[in-house]
Structure 1
Amino acid sequence: MTVQPQGTPVWADAMFTDVEGAKNFYAEVLGWTFGEAAAEFGHYTQALADGRATAAVMPTGPGQGGTSQWCLYLASPDVAATAAAVKAGGGQVLMEPMQVADLGSMCLVSDPGGVVFGVWQAGTHQGFEASKEQSGAYCWAEVFTRDPEKSDAFFPAVFPYTAQQMDDAEMDFRIYSVQGEPVLGRMRMTDDFPPEVPPYINVYFHTTDCDDTVARAVKLGGVLRFGPVDSPFGRFAALSDPYGANFSVLDTTRLTGDVPGMTDVS
């Protein structure tokens, strides 16, 4: 696998108080299977879409209870340099750079508005193996923030992003790209989001039937937050799993309407 350009999403994981329950949920909803738990890494377990790695789950450690959350990791050729850029850009380093055996190096950070994400410098683990078109695979992500101006200044300062703003007066949405390839969205959180919902990065997983996936998720204790709705990018829905982790599902085969215009704001 080729090492991904800096700033490209390369991995996603989440901690769960009931990791076996979470595995059962995502197996039924997204069709995931799971590899062997790595005891030396806190029983970290890869999730597989059609046999290819697309995410990971792990149990919460002592004192790490609470609501689960998916964490997206962005590629870096030098995790220490990226951590320094995060601090210079007004963000916070929540977990200092650390080596993870021969797999790679990582840190956890947040942007100035409180959006938490990871940074990954690949070693033997280079990230997603499943292609975005595979059912159950990671396919997209968006920064949900109440401080879009801070995010829009921060992310292109830390990563080599160019940015395009959607020409839509009713929606404040921006796309960050690397080498001309869209890699990450940015959405302003409106008053539709309860004040207790913190800013976060929402990950999307591909599905071949959005409505059926939503029905299975709700039947298993998930909560439908939005949708399903059609869009020029596919039919999608926003959900929370039974443990509070937000995610979305997207069927890219069902495209409806014209893609909105975008204005370069780099």
Structure 2
Amino acid sequence: MDKNKEAIYGTIGWIDLTVPGAENVKDFYAAVTGWKPEPVSMGDYNDYNMTANGEPKAGVCHKTGPNADIPSQWIIYINVPDLEKSVAAVEEKGGKLLTEIKSMGSYGRTCYIEDPAGAVCALFEPA
């Protein structure tokens, strides 16, 4: 296994918020935190990378299309080496899947889960 890729497993790779009204919410966080919204084209609408010092720090996304079933809360994405194995462990250990495995295009794949205590996060397998 590539040492550079192995080093990212188990780390939090990203955080984002998927909500109705992402336009207003991105403006809210820009004013409250000082983040600068940078549009990310999703075809017929934009989601946003929220940047600080020119670096993306988080995402604010529209709750529509393939994102319609994502919970409206800040979600961390935990990098895993084998998404199928991790998804099987979620169910085996008393958690539940909130979505099916979803493609993130050339970035990788993800699945939103809930742990046995009710906390929500996403598992992410980088491409």
Query: Fold-level match, TM-score > 0.5?
Result: yes
Native 8 Å contact 1:96 1:107 kept in 2 = yes
Q: Note closer, same or farther for the CA distance 1:81–1:109 as it changes in structure 2 (3 Å cut).
A: same
Q: RMSD over aligned Cα, in angstroms?
A: 2.3
Q: Note closer, same or farther for the CA distance 1:95–1:42 as it changes in structure 2 (3 Å cut).
A: farther
CA distance in structure 2 between the partners assigned to 1:116 and 1:25 by the alignment: 23
What residue is the counterpart of 1:117 in the other structure?
121
Higher relative contact order, chain-length normalized (CA < 8 Å, sep 6+):
2
Native 8 Å contact 2:26 2:48 kept in 1 = no
Q: Note closer, same or farther for the CA distance 1:89–1:100 as it changes in structure 2 (3 Å cut).
A: same
CA distance in structure 1 between the partners assigned to 2:46 and 2:39 by the alignment: 8
What residue is the counterpart of 2:30 in the other structure?
27
CA distance in structure 2 between the partners assigned to 1:8 and 1:109 by the alignment: 16
CA distance in structure 2 between the partners assigned to 1:101 and 1:118 by the alignment: 16
Q: Note closer, same or farther for the CA distance 1:56–1:42 as it changes in structure 2 (3 Å cut).
A: same
Greater Rg by CA: 1
Please state whether the residue corresponding to 1:25 is helix, strand or coil: helix
CA distance in structure 2 between the partners assigned to 1:59 and 1:99 by the alignment: 17
Amino acid at match of 1:101: G
Please state whether the residue corresponding to 1:95 is helix, strand or coil: coil
Work out whether 1:87 is the aligned partner of 2:91: yes
Native 8 Å contact 1:42 1:58 kept in 2 = no
Select the structure that is richer in helix: 2
Structure 1 residues not aligned, in runs of 5+: 124-266
1:42 Cα deviation after fit: 6.3
Please state whether the residue corresponding to 2:100 is helix, strand or coil: strand
Percent identical: 29
CA distance in structure 1 between the partners assigned to 2:53 and 2:24 by the alignment: 20
1:217-236 counterparts in 2 under 5 A? none
Amino acid at match of 1:28: A
Q: TM-score, normalised by structure 2?
A: 0.81
